[in-house]
Amino acid sequence: MTTYLRAPEAARRLGVTTATLYSYVSRGRIERTLGSDGRSSLFDLADIDALIAASSRPVPPAPTIDVRISTSITRLDESGLRYRGVPVDELVDEPFERVCSLLWNGSLTSLDDAALRGASPTPNAARSDVLSLIRLATDVDPLLEPVAAACQLLAAIASSETGEQQGAPFAHRLVACWAPHASPQLVRAVNSTLVLLADHGLATSTLAVRVAASVRAAPVAALVAGLATVQGELHGAAASHAHGLFVEVEKRGAVPVLTRYRSDNRRVPGFGHKIYRDCDPRFERLLERVREIPAPAHRRAVVDETIESAGALVSRVPNIDLALGALSYLAGLPCDIPLFAIARIAGWTAHYLEELEERPVRFRGLANSP
């Protein structure tokens, strides 16, 4: 995920005024992205640091902690993503339940596939955004062990008021919360989304879970820490911005929209990644599944036009957020459905378990004296 800073934070990091920051934008020295409110400006942390490195101004110390974290859960680089040593390309069509088992237990078969199917229906349980997931988490027994707590939360998220989907695979029940008569292709695409997003190393929200685990917070409390962090505008909202890009292209056309982003020095949602400079290996795998979803022809044309035009007008490569935005756009789902956060519950639980093997209370920020 790209890390964004608001204008005051970006200016402080550069050691300039906000007026100077915007002069950098007007001169093309740095790009800005509009926030979800359509007014606020966001700046890529990597771009800020690159500008600092290119200037004579001394580089401020980067935020850090005094612990180097070792993890065997996920390995990621330009060649791809691996969970417990297994390439995600080999897992993309595995049921999400089995991938949870791999992350938690090291095996695709050791987790009882019924574990995520046993919750009673949760009346009127809205799943429209991450905050609604936090509300669901408050009903999870705080005394449960990590895997049991994660299973109870996931099962509650995917429960239906009618109970008609009880016993169905997790992805099927989850999709039914938004689209009761969803096509098999949409269910397959959502399952692949959950698998591809289940973990991605030490992202900010994952670090929050590990800090909570370090002080031995209850497992569900640590999951809430992850949900609270991923809910932030600068972390988990990228796919909703990509969805909005497709809506904008539908109204005005890809070339005018992308050209306007370029002339305004704004980052195009769904493009670029802090880790994957050449390509996000998850993008194509998810896009394959997204293209299978039955959808109106004009929406398919919008997605194709956007991706094709971006090849000539956008210097950065597409990332998984663009594919996830295309999924919600093509399927007619709300732009802010919290698929990213739901998927990441699997990885957070694995990191919680791994952190329990480390020395307690090992995290402490490094403060700089003024």
- Judge contact between 214 and 361, C-beta under 8 A: yes
Give the HSE-up count for residue 354: Cα atoms under 13 Å, Cβ half-sphere: 23
Give pLDDT tens digits for 276-285.
Answer: 777 888 999 9
Give pLDDT tens digits for 239-267.
Answer: 999 999 999 999 999 999 999 999 998 88
266 forms beta bridges with 32
What is the pLDDT confidence band of residue 162, given thresholds at 50, 70 and 90?
Answer: very low
Q: According to the model, what pLDDT value does residue 236 have?
A: 83
**Average pLDDT of the residues in 272-299:** 91
Q: According to the model, what pLDDT value does residue 151 have?
A: 94
CATH T-level fold of 238-331 = Cytochrome p450-Terp; domain 2 (1.10.230)
Q: According to the model, what pLDDT value does residue 274 have?
A: 77
What is the pLDDT confidence band of residue 369, given thresholds at 50, 70 and 90?
Answer: low
Q: According to the model, what pLDDT value does residue 123 have?
A: 46
**Average pLDDT of the residues in 199-219:** 95
Q: According to the model, what pLDDT value does residue 57 have?
A: 56
**Average pLDDT of the residues in 41-52:** 89
Class of the CATH-defined domain 74-235+336-355: mainly alpha
Give pLDDT tens digits for 82-130.
Answer: 999 999 999 999 999 999 999 999 998 755 545 666 544 454 444 678 9
Lowest mean pLDDT among 218-227, 253-262, 264-273: 264-273
Residues 6+ apart with CB under 8 A from 203: 1, 235, 344
Q: Over 90: is that where the pLDDT of 340 sits? A: yes
CATH 1.10.1660.10 matches 4-54:
yes
Boundaries of every domain in the chain: 4-54, 74-235+336-355, 238-331
121 or 156, which is more confident: 156
**Average pLDDT of the residues in 36-52:** 86
What is the pLDDT confidence band of residue 186, given thresholds at 50, 70 and 90?
Answer: very high
**Average pLDDT of the residues in 341-360:** 96
Q: Over 90: is that where the pLDDT of 75 sits? A: yes
**Average pLDDT of the residues in 283-303:** 97
Q: According to the model, what pLDDT value does residue 278 have?
A: 79
**Average pLDDT of the residues in 54-67:** 61
For residues 233 and 12, give the distance between their C-alpha atoms in angstroms, rounded to a whole number: 19
Q: According to the model, what pLDDT value does residue 27 have?
A: 84
Query: Nearest-CA neighbor of 223 among 345, 53, 40?
Result: 345
Q: According to the model, what pLDDT value does residue 67 have?
A: 73
For residues 246 and 273, give the distance between their C-alpha atoms in angstroms, rounded to a whole number: 19
**Average pLDDT of the residues in 215-219:** 96
- Judge contact between 11 and 20, C-beta under 8 A: yes
Give pLDDT tens digits for 316-331.
Answer: 999 999 999 999 999 9
What's the predicted TM-score (pTM) here? 0.82
